[in-house]
Structure 1
Amino acid sequence: MAQLIATAFVSQDGVMEAPGGEDGYRNAGWTFKDIDFVEEAYELKAMEQQQAGSLMLGRRSYQAFAPVWPSMEAEFPRYNAMPKYVVSTTLDPADLVTDWGRIDILRGVDDVAAAKDQASEPIIIHGSGELVRSLTDAGLVDRFHLLVFPVLLGAGKHYFSAADKAAQRLDLVDSAVYANGVQKLVYDVVR
């Protein structure tokens, strides 16, 4: 069974919306506004690409990444080559791009569990807040890779679920703090 790893940029107060500048959010681009670029803060992203066996995205993240990532061969060579899963109840196979390798549509939590059972290498989920919240609530996420930025955003889409549920313990397995205030936090989910 593959390890399911959720990775994201989050604000100190847990917001994950529009870190790169996507339209429609008042604080779009918050990962680079008034925060110095420190290369080593992003080494986690390179490691993820090397360790992952497949990439999983929710529909909205897929629709944001699919027009851009296939042309970014220098930045994402392994992601572009590896199999991908898109979790969506609305996408039709005809809606998928044809220049990004194998892409399978999964229709829900049960399909994700089956894909996880069949895979042998880690599956990494980028962004995809709604999907991560759903899979976390279903007990399918095994690890979180977070880059926490020193900013409070208040309103916006939060990375973690607000569902009323039993506490879920996390085990910190790696961490670092960088000169720009960004924190790397890697947690395993304790079962």
Structure 2
Amino acid sequence: MRKLIESTFVSLDGIISDTHPSTSSRSDPHMWGNKYWDDQHNGYSAALAADADTLLMGRVTYEGMAEAWSSQSNEFADRVNAMPKYVASRTLTSATWNTTVIQGDVAEEVAKIKEQPGANIMKWGTGELDRTLVEHGLVDEFHFWYFPVIVGAGQHLFEGAGFDTTHLKLADLHRFDSGIVVHVYTPR
């Protein structure tokens, strides 16, 4: 069975994204995280992507990533652009960028994707889709990228989760000179 890997940027106060247009200028990870992205960050991202052959995203992440990545061309971008992608959405009816919109029960469909032959499935972004994946025990590995920044406003990691307590085991830890620390967790 393929492994589903969650990769998420998190501020020290647990912020993952903006929730209101009034705070988006400071709570969007691209606003507070960009200054920490360096060769170590890029190398770690590339290594995660190299072990995957499929991307999974929610609608919001998909729309941002498709806009940002589809026009780029370099070794990493070409790999990402060529990967098959799945997007979970109740509102999208069609998608571009080599993407399939998941129809029906998301947990059931993701479980079917995991059963298909292939390499790892990389899950980018955090939000409602993550709550579904965690609730149904579909995430095999979490990579939480903790950035040395306190944002002060925005959506918190697993905010309003609605699932039972989920215990994880620290499997690995990666420290970057920029101050980013990636905690790798697996289910217990």
Taking structure 2 as the reference length, the TM-score comes to: 0.84
Q: CA deviation at 1:70?
A: 1.5
Partners of 2:36 and 2:81 lie apart in 1 by 28
2:52 alignment counterpart = 52
What secondary structure sits across from 2:132 in the alignment? helix
Partners of 1:44 and 1:78 lie apart in 2 by 15
Q: CA deviation at 1:31?
A: 0.7
Q: Is the 8 A contact 1:3 1:122 kept in 2?
A: yes
Gaps in structure 2 of 5+ consecutive residues: none
Q: Is the 8 A contact 1:60 1:128 kept in 2?
A: no
Taking structure 1 as the reference length, the TM-score comes to: 0.83
Q: Is the 8 A contact 1:14 1:160 kept in 2?
A: no
Answer with 115-124 or 43-52: which moved more: 115-124
Partners of 2:60 and 2:117 lie apart in 1 by 24
2:32 alignment counterpart = 30
2:85 alignment counterpart = 84
Partners of 2:54 and 2:91 lie apart in 1 by 21
Gaps in structure 1 of 5+ consecutive residues: none
Q: Is the 8 A contact 1:54 1:84 kept in 2?
A: yes
Q: Deviations along 1:103-141, whole A, 9 cap, x unmatched?
A: 211132221122122243211111142211221122111
1:180 alignment counterpart = 178
What secondary structure sits across from 2:50 in the alignment? helix
Q: Is the 8 A contact 1:49 1:76 kept in 2?
A: no
State how many pairs are aligned. 180
TM-align CA RMSD: 2.2
Give the partner amino acid of 1:52: A
Higher helix proportion (structure 1 or 2): 2
